[in-house]
């Protein structure tokens, strides 16, 4: 029984990503530590196994119809191991869910963006937003492409952006670990009726305040992979306000301070 085109496409993607991993190991631009390089080689080996399985395992059939939307067992296990290695070794620059790029032709599903880093401050939010926007464009082009050469080129661009996202995660982690970036307790005040009332509250309680929102049409300043959250409160730094949900208040505090400083 011939191998379905969907499996052939998945095999090509697996081999392409394996080549990307091995090229990254040999790149002059260093992976942060030897563990990351070793992880990339292990990921590449698992991807080779997955590709071979896609190319050689005969698909099942039902009532004489070939089943094309399932992943062979060996390929599934190899991809699961590769994703676990990526999750355990973030310095590889491969997100834990990267196997979706391989299985997308089989399942016919859109590839997910990596989880948001929930960065604090307008600069970092803009950097992640730019990466996500570019990834979404490449994901759409990948979904529409069938030529192996085009797909290989698009995957190289995608994994370059995923690497930048991993590097952004490192810079955010370093920034958050600085003593002066640790969140502090922000005084909460009743919602001020006017801008003058907010200024008086700052004079009394400090440069950064938070207050609940009565209106429900505002959205949190952070969204996760395009999913928005209703804002529950406002953070104000000397009158510069950022809407936030309860989960993202620390990031909103940083964002309000940085936005105020950038406007000054």
Taking only the tens place, the pLDDT of each residue in 52-61 is 999 998 877 6
Is 216 strand, coil or helix?
coil
Query: What is the Cα Rg of the chain in Å?
Result: 23
Q: What phi, psi does 2 have (nearest 5°)?
A: -65, 150
Residues paired with residue 234 on neighbouring β-strands, in sequence order? 211, 243
Tell me which H or E stretch contains 142. Answer: helix 122-144
pLDDT tens figures, 142-166: 999 999 999 999 999 999 999 999 8
pLDDT at 77 > cutoff 90 = yes
Backbone φ, ψ for residue 211 (5° rounding): -150, 150
Instruction: Say if residues 104 and 210 touch (Cβ distance below 8 Å).
Output: no
Is-contact 208 233, C-beta < 8 A? no
Tell me what pLDDT residue 60 has: 72
Spell out where 180-259 has E strands: 208-212, 233-237, 240-244
Judged by DSSP in three states, 191 sits in: coil
pLDDT tens-digit series, residues 89-134: 988 889 999 999 999 999 998 999 988 887 666 677 788 889 999 9
What pLDDT, in 10s, does the model give residues 168-214? 887 776 555 545 444 557 889 999 989 899 999 998 888 899 999 98
Determine the Cα–Cα distance for residues 215 and 73; give it in Å rounded to an integer.
52
């Amino acid at each position: 029984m011939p191998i379905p085109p969907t499996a052939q496409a998945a095999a090509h993607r697996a081999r392409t990503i394996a080549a990307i991993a091995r090229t990254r190991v040999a790149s002059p631009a260093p992976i942060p530590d030897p563990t990351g390089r070793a992880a990339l080689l292990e990921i590449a080996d698992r991807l080779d196994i997955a590709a071979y399985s896609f190319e050689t395992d005969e698909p099942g059939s039902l009532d004489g119809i070939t089943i094309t939307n399932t992943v062979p067992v060996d390929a599934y296990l190899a991809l699961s191991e590769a994703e676990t290695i990526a999750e355990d070794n973030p310095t590889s620059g491969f997100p834990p869910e990267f196997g979706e790029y391989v299985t997308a032709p089989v399942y016919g599903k859109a590839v997910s963006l990596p989880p948001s880093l929930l960065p604090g401050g307008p600069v970092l939010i803009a950097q992640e937003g730019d990466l996500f926007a570019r990834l979404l464009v490449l994901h759409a082009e990948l979904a529409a492409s069938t030529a192996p050469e085009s797909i290989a080129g698009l995957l190289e661009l995608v994994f370059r952006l995923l690497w930048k996202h991993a590097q952004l995660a490192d810079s955010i982690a370093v920034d958050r670990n600085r003593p002066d970036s640790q969140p502090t307790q922000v005084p909460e005040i009743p919602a001020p009726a006017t801008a003058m009332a907010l200024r008086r509250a700052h004079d009394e309680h400090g440069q950064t305040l938070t207050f609940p929102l009565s209106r429900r049409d505002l959205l949190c300043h952070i969204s996760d992979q395009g999913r928005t959250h209703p804002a529950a409160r406002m953070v104000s730094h000397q009158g510069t306000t950022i809407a936030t949900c309860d989960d993202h208040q620390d990031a909103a505090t940083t964002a309000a301070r940085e936005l105020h400083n950038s406007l000054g």
